[in-house]
Structure formats: C-alpha cells, structure tokens
C-alpha cells in the first residue's frame, strides 16, 4: 500500500535548482520507465529532502528497483543514455548521459539490504521533476544508510537527521525487523548518537527504541548469533569496504559478508573491493 505525504514539505524536490538539462534527462528517464511498467522508487537526495527538509545538490539520481527488474530498466534506458552498465552485479547498475548518472540500486554494497516487495508496499507517494513517483520508505533508507561507515563516506549524519526528523512516524517494529537478530547493535549505535546530537530535543519514540535495544543488549551480551563458530569473525566489513580488510587478509578473521553469515560470494567481494584499491 502506497502511503501519502504527511506534511507540507515541497512536493517537487530540488527541481528549482537542478540544471535544466539534468531535469530534462531525468524526466525522460522517469517517463521511459513508467511507460514500460518498470517499477522503481526514488531515493538519495530527493528522499532525504522529503523526510528531513535538507537540500543537497547532486548529479546522481538514485532509483531503487527490484533485482529481477534491473536488466529491464537498463535496456529501457539505453536509447536515451550514452552508456548503461551493470556496475556491481550484486547491488548496483548505472545509466549515464554526459556527466549525469542514474544509479539503479537493487541492494547494498555489503549484501545486507536487498530491495524487496516491502520497499514498494511502504513507499511514499510524491512528485519529483514534476512527475508522480514513489519514494523509498524512511525505514529502508535508515536501514541501508546505517551500514555506510567508510573512510571516504559516512552516512551517520543522514541517519541522525532521519531519526530526528521522523522518529514519531517511523514504524519501529518494521525497522527492528530489518536489522534482525544480528545487526541491531548498528541501529542501537545510531540511536545513541542521535540522542547525543540533539540533547535538548528529546523524542519519546526515540527514547523508547533506545530502551528496547539497551534491554536486548544486556540479554545478548554473551550469546553469539546463529552462523558463528569458534573461529574469529569480523563484522566490520559490513560497515566499511576497506578498513577491516587487514583482519580478514592478514589476521585470520573470517569475513562476515560470506555465507553463512552474509550473502556475498568471494568473487563479489573481490570485484567490489578492486575498484577502491586502485
């Protein structure tokens, strides 16, 4: 079920200060996908603005699609682009026109956040570039961004903005389910940071969520989740592509991105890593 906007934030995000050529390309892209019944959701700076009121200039346009719709989306965009590519087969494709880029996102770099039907069921109806679209749900936006803690990019600020601005509208039960039994400490950390960032602006829903996860922390402190064995495991690779490679390449830790803990293959990890090691 598509939700409707709940507040009076601008309904045509950022269009007024995006370059006219970019607006034209993005409008044509949205029209092509819509006409050919390729389902998509808008994310990135446009969704962030919708949920927080924070505006950002960007030449990348993030569209989220189901994994099985990715190749169809690329083929439909090909005639209006200079180049299309399946950049990382486990999560990302790109459609490029001049210096403009559409990111077709169907998962996450760490393999934890695939786009599924729930993204569409809880999407928000809105308008972008004077086109009726749906935005990714705030819960999925928080879920995906919470794991981005790279040396060159940290999305914790975005997560704090989202938690602060939307705490009373978030479906907390659904957000907890997204992080599951293994990854909820990541959400807990972001919640604590958000409370620290805004100490004079308490949010009851935020405080309740922190208390729930703190209680979980006390009961889970000495229990390893399913999938862990006696060998040392490093989960840092879920948070940063490069920062924890020494543990898995030289110190004998098992990369948690691999099964049975994670969802990635060694080939996918190698391909994802190689781009940043050059």
pLDDT of residue 1: 47
Tell me the pLDDT of the chain averaged across its residues: 91
Which phi-psi region, left, alpha or beta, contains residue 62 (left: φ > 0; alpha: ψ -120 to 50)?
beta
User: Same domain for 41 and 120?
Assistant: yes
User: Same domain for 39 and 98?
Assistant: yes
Q: What is the mean pLDDT of residues 85-89?
A: 97
User: Same domain for 70 and 102?
Assistant: yes
Of the candidate ranges 10-24, 78-92, 174-188, 226-240, the one whose mean pLDDT is the lowest: 10-24
pLDDT of residue 170: 98
Q: What is the mean pLDDT of residues 241-256?
A: 93
Is residue 163 assigned to a domain? Answer: yes
pLDDT of residue 222: 57
173-201 confidence digits (pLDDT tens): 999 999 998 999 999 999 999 999 999 98
**How far, in Å, CA of 212 to CA of 163, rounded?**
16
Is residue 185 assigned to a domain? Answer: yes
User: Same domain for 60 and 168?
Assistant: no
Compute CA distances 263 → 109, 168, 248, 252, 256, whole Å.
11, 32, 17, 20, 9
- Tell me the pairing of strands 83-88 and 92-97: antiparallel
Contact 107, 90 (CB under 8 A): yes
User: Same domain for 59 and 19?
Assistant: yes
Rounded to 5 degrees, what are φ and ψ at 97? -140, 115
User: Same domain for 34 and 131?
Assistant: yes
Q: What is the mean pLDDT of residues 215-234?
A: 72
Is residue 105 assigned to a domain? Answer: yes
Is residue 13 scored above 60 in pLDDT?
no
User: Same domain for 124 and 35?
Assistant: yes
Q: Taking the CB of residue 117, how many other CB atoms lie within 10 A of it? A: 9
pLDDT band at 255 (very low <50, low <70, confident <90, very high): very high
Is residue 232 scored above 50 in pLDDT?
yes
- Whole domain around residue 260: which residue ranges? 233-273
Return the higher-pLDDT residue of 260 and 148: 148
At which of 220, 242, 262 does a domain end?
A: 220
pLDDT band at 8 (very low <50, low <70, confident <90, very high): very low
Is residue 146 assigned to a domain? Answer: no
User: Same domain for 27 and 101?
Assistant: yes
User: Same domain for 160 and 208?
Assistant: yes
User: Same domain for 63 and 99?
Assistant: yes
* Total domains, the chain: 3
At which of 179, 198, 220 does a domain end?
A: 220
User: Same domain for 98 and 172?
Assistant: no
Is residue 113 assigned to a domain? Answer: yes
27-76 confidence digits (pLDDT tens): 999 999 999 999 999 999 999 999 999 988 777 999 999 999 999 999 99
Of the candidate ranges 116-120, 222-226, 250-254, the one whose mean pLDDT is the lowest: 222-226
pLDDT of residue 118: 98
Is residue 89 assigned to a domain? Answer: yes
pTM: 0.93
- What's 87's domain CATH number? 3.30.460.40
Of the candidate ranges 66-70, 95-99, 104-108, 212-216, the one whose mean pLDDT is the lowest: 212-216
pLDDT of residue 9: 42
pLDDT of residue 4: 46
At which of 101, 136, 171 does a domain end?
A: 136
Token pair for 136: 């990714």
Q: Which DSSP string do the residues of 62-94 spell out, in sequence order?
A: EEE--GGGHHHHHHHHGGGSSEEEEEETTTEEE
Of the candidate ranges 1-10, 142-151, 192-201, the one whose mean pLDDT is the lowest: 1-10
User: Same domain for 237 and 213?
Assistant: no
């Amino acid at each position: 079920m598509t939700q409707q906007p709940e507040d009076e934030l601008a309904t045509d995000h950022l269009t007024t200060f995006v370059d006219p050529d970019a607006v034209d390309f993005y409008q044509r892209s949205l029209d092509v996908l819509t006409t050919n019944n390729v389902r998509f959701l808008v994310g990135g700076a446009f969704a962030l603005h919708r949920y927080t009121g924070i505006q950002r200039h960007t030449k990348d346009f993030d569209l989220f699609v189901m994994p099985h719709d990715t190749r169809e989306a690329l083929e439909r965009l090909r005639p209006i682009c200079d180049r299309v590519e399946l950049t990382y087969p486990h999560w990302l494709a790109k459609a490029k026109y001049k210096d403009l880029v559409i990111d077709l996102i169907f998962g996450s770099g760490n393999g934890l956040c695939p786009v599924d039907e729930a993204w569409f069921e809880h999407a928000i109806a809105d308008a972008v570039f004077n086109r009726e679209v749906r935005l990714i749900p705030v819960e999925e936006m928080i879920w995906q961004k919470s794991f981005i803690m790279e040396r060159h990019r940290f999305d914790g600020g975005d997560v704090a903005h989202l938690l602060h601005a939307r705490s009373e509208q978030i479906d907390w039960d659904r957000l907890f389910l997204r992080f599951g039994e293994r990854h909820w400490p990541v959400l807990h950390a972001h919640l604590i940071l958000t409370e620290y960032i805004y100490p004079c602006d308490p949010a009851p829903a935020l405080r309740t969520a922190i208390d729930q996860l703190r209680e979980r922390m006390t009961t889970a402190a000495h229990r390893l989740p399913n999938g862990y064995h006696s060998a040392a495991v490093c989960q840092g690779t879920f948070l940063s592509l490069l920062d924890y490679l020494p543990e898995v390449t030289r110190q004998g830790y098992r990369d948690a991105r691999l099964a049975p803990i994670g969802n990635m293959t060694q080939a996918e990890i190698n391909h994802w890593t190689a781009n940043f090691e050059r």
